[in-house]
């Protein structure tokens, strides 16, 4: 099973100014979050962000926050507890007028649901883990971008990956996401993706 850009959404969790200095391999993790956000924009994949307790931990670092369509401030560790799921689900449209009487070729197609959620963030063993587990419970397909995730310690980060894999999340890297969204070197975005990942 490969990632499909048309079915994907990207959620970037808590890359916040007061938190990042304490994060293991913070610079590499933040650079990969930027790469993910830029690639998502190329493929028209929605990008959502969360900020845990922003009054204490500050806003998301600016180069990542600039890539968000919308930012969810939260106090729960899981963004799903604060309404993230409503952002990720396409709301059903009420039928307008007498749409059912229209011939099939004149009916507007229903909005396509994007049930694949690509997630990355900090801290991997707390906010990322709890959000991802809740996404799985809500029947989303969850893909965790390991090289764009971290915690204050490597051990906590790795424990989160073990638990997420056991719960059914797919573990991937930033480059895996980009190349799966592309699928072919003939894709028009291929040169741009290469520039982003190099």
Query: What's 52-82 look like in SS3?
Result: ECHHHHCCECHHHHCCCCEEEEECCCCHHHH
- According to the model, what pLDDT value does residue 112 have? 67
Which segments of the chain have a pLDDT < 50? Answer: none
- According to the model, what pLDDT value does residue 113 have? 82
Q: Which residues contact 96 (CB under 8 A, 6 or more apart)?
A: none
CATH class in words for 5-89+112-197: alpha beta
CA distances from 116 to 67, 88, 112, 119, 125 (A): 19, 9, 12, 10, 21
**pTM for the structure as a whole:** 0.89
C-alpha–C-alpha distance, residues 158 and 124, integer Å: 8
- According to the model, what pLDDT value does residue 197 have? 93
Buried b (16+ CB within 10 A) or exposed e, 137-172: eeebbbbbbbbbbbbbeeebbeebbeebeeeebbeb
C-alpha–C-alpha distance, residues 194 and 181, integer Å: 13
Farthest-apart Cα atoms in the chain, separation: 60
Q: Which residues contact 69 (CB under 8 A, 6 or more apart)?
A: 46, 47, 48
Q: Residue 79: name the closest of 122, 32, 132 by CA.
A: 132
CA distances from 139 to 18, 115, 167, 197 (A): 32, 8, 12, 30
Q: Are 30 and 149 in contact (CB under 8 A)?
A: no
C-alpha–C-alpha distance, residues 81 and 89, integer Å: 14
- Is residue 186 helix, strand or coil? coil
Q: For 36-55, how does the pLDDT look when each residue is reduced to its tens digit (9 = 90+)?
A: 999 999 999 999 999 999 99
């Amino acid at each position: 099973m490969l990632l499909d850009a048309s079915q994907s959404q990207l959620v970037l969790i808590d890359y916040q100014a007061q938190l990042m200095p304490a994060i293991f391999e913070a610079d590499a993790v933040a650079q990969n979050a930027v790469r993910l956000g830029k690639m998502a924009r190329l493929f028209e994949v929605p990008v959502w962000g969360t900020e845990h307790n922003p009054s204490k931990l500050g806003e998301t670092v600016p180069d990542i926050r600039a890539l968000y369509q919308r930012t969810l401030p939260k106090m729960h560790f899981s963004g799903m507890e604060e309404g993230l799921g409503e952002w990720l689900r396409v709301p059903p449209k009420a039928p307008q007028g007498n749409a059912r009487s229209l011939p099939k070729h004149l009916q507007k197609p229903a909005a396509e649901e994007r049930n694949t959620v690509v997630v990355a963030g900090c801290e991997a063993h707390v906010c990322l883990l709890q959000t991802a587990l809740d996404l799985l419970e809500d029947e989303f397909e969850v893909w965790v971008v390991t090289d764009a995730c971290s915690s204050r310690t490597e051990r906590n980060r790795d424990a989160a990956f073990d638990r997420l894999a056991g719960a059914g999340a797919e573990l991937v890297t930033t480059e895996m996401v980009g190349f799966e969204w592309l699928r072919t070197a003939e894709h028009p975005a291929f040169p741009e993706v290469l520039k982003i990942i190099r």
